[in-house]
Amino acid sequence: MRICVAGAAGAFGLKHLAALDQIDSVQVTSIVGAPGDNIGELAAQRGIGHSTNDLTHSLARDDVDAVILATPTQLHASQAIQCMKAGKHVLVEIPMADNLAQSREVVRVQKESGVVAMAGHVRRFNPSHQYVHDKIQSGEMNIQHLDVQTYFFRRSNMNALGKPRSWTDHLLWHHACHTVDLFQYQTGEVPAEVFGMQGPKHPGLGIAMDMSIGLKTPTGKLCTLSLSFNNDGPFGTFFRYICDNGTYIARYDDLVDGKENPIDLSGVARSKNGIELIDREFISAIQDNREPNGSVAQCLPAMETLDRIEKVMSA
């Protein structure tokens, strides 16, 4: 499998390159960077034969079977469509778009082209969340309330590496997207009721820095989500699963019960790295000619829910 990674010099592009190093029968044959990324130097360091600042050049190559897009959010939909129309399979980092109309167009083009198209909903693959999912699927328990905190300190346009961004992140269409999809994936339901509130918009960034979101499924399962770019403290997303048979707290790839006793995740997946696991699923789906877990079609209902939340906050 010959892969192009676009946005390779960014925080998540580098994560994908490291993950692909762990997967047999995969070769990164091309990388794409933004102007000023020194993408040629990165290619030389990693022994990658082709580098460019123009995705079109990579898509024209015969030695590119599939593309992983770790580019700015505002480019996700247009670049995913560009890849599919070029006949390339595509894994687009979350979110597939920052609005519902473009998300629907991504799904339409995937159906038209027939290639594998997957969205980077990594929470489906983190072993901590897989453990909970397996227990739900086996009938051992059901979620009563998923309580989630997503906290960052991001009052300027900086990425996870502490470098300036050329684009603006978004609490709803990026960070809430993780939790909304996860809640719908874990419960198997689309919320019947949603609410959302947002705080004042940042005068420079033009985005709300704090949000409160609530979801309720037709069977009464709840999700409460608090998000902030103003939190001066430990950052990340922390999930508390309150279930009819136990409580679990997921912190990225670690899981404890409600009394902070560690849960052994050693047998859940072949890796503890969620990025590696999602890349493995993408490659496996291409090889098996099947729909992947996390296909753009499967993730579209989460985008529809985000659109409903946005409408409530704008009312």
Would you list the DSSP string of 219-237?
A: T--EEEEEEESB--SS-EE
pLDDT tens track for 67-110: 999 999 999 999 999 999 999 999 999 999 999 999 999 999 99
Architecture per CATH, 2-122+275-295: 3-Layer(aba) Sandwich (3.40)
Query: 282: burial class by Cβ within 10 Å (0-12, 13-18, 19+)?
Result: buried
Do the bridges between strand 66-69 and strand 246-251 make them parallel or antiparallel, or are there none, so unpaired? unpaired
Please check whether the domain covering 126-268 is classified as CATH 3.30.360.10: yes
Could you tell me the pLDDT band of residue 291, with boundaries at 50, 70 and 90? very high
DSSP output for 163-215: -B-SS---IIIIIIHHHHHHHHHHHS---SEEEEEE-PBPTTT-SBSEEEEEE
Residue reference for tokens 């990674």: 5
Q: What predicted TM-score, i.e. pTM, was given to this entire model?
A: 0.94
pLDDT tens track for 105-152: 999 999 999 999 999 999 999 999 999 999 999 999 999 999 999 998
Task: Locate the domains of the chain by residue range.
Answer: 2-122+275-295, 126-268
| pLDDT reported for residue 160 | 58
